[in-house]
Amino acid sequence: MKSHEALGKAWHKPKEMEGYKELLIGLRSRHTITRVEKPLRLDRAHSVGYKAKPGFITVHVKIKKGGRKRRQVHRGRKPSKMGIKGFTTKKSLQLIAEERANKKYPNCEVLNSYWLAEDGRHKWFEVILLDRINPSVLSDSEASRVVKRRKRVYRGLTKSGRKMRGLL
């Protein structure tokens, strides 16, 4: 098996990596939010705080790329002034992926996330979640500190949330 450094360097240019096309084909056929046994990018997962213990959950989240649509108002306004075209969100796609994962698993807290893959239409992120009531998580000092801060992803306390708030 390759070392963590070699794995990390291979992910810097994923299109040149062997098996990347097969990975994309497999990801496209899955649901939007899919729980997986272990992270695909083990080096990156360990760097953001993942540990191979019970209570650490890994989820793949698929997000559509591109701009977002604002709700159209059907009142007397000039169409060009409605702000439907050229609407960009203040949240990153990564933060949206974290929030969707937390919504799907409400008994968990988001530890962190990172980019996994992308094609012309979608981006995939790997989100690490912590089970709030698991004894192995509660006994781990770092993980228990994270778990005690409820709904941290919605308050912008994850890495991508802090980046959105201008703190990184």
Percentage of the residues of the chain whose pLDDT score is greater than 70 = 94
Host domain of residue 53: 4-164
pLDDT band, residue 4 (cuts 50/70/90): low
Q: What is the pLDDT of residue 110?
A: 94
Reported as a single tens digit per residue, the pLDDT across 116-132 is 999 889 999 999 999 99
Q: What does the H/E/C string look like for the chain? A: CCCHHHHHHHCCCHHHCCCHHHHHHHHHCCCCEEEECCCCCHHHHHHCCCCCCCCEEEEEEEEECCCCCCCCCCCCCCHHHCCCCCCCCCCCHHHHHHHHHHHHCCCEEEEEEEEEEECCCEEEEEEEEEECCCHHHHHCHHHHHHHHCCCCCCCCCCHHHHHHCCCC
| Distance in angstroms (rounded) separating the CA atoms of residues 95 and 153 | 8
Q: Count of CB atoms within 10 A of residue 91's CB?
A: 16
Q: What is the pLDDT of residue 72?
A: 74
Percentage of the residues of the chain whose pLDDT score is greater than 90 = 57
In this structure, which amino acid lies at residue 112? Answer: N
The tally of domains found in the chain comes to 1
Q: What is the pLDDT of residue 2?
A: 58
Mean pLDDT score across all residues of the chain? 87
Reported as a single tens digit per residue, the pLDDT across 132-145 is 999 999 999 989 99
> Residue 133's domain is classified under what CATH number?
3.40.1120.10
| Distance in angstroms (rounded) separating the CA atoms of residues 40 and 114 | 11
Q: Are 152 and 110 spatial neighbours (Cβ–Cβ below 8 Å)?
A: yes
| Distance in angstroms (rounded) separating the CA atoms of residues 166 and 30 | 34
The pTM (predicted TM-score) of the whole model is 0.86
Reported as a single tens digit per residue, the pLDDT across 67-117 is 777 777 777 777 776 766 667 788 899 999 999 999 999 999 999 999 999
Q: Are 105 and 99 spatial neighbours (Cβ–Cβ below 8 Å)?
A: no
Q: Can you tell me the mean pLDDT for 143-162?
A: 91
Q: Residue 118 forms beta bridges with which residues?
A: 123
Q: What is the pLDDT of residue 115?
A: 93
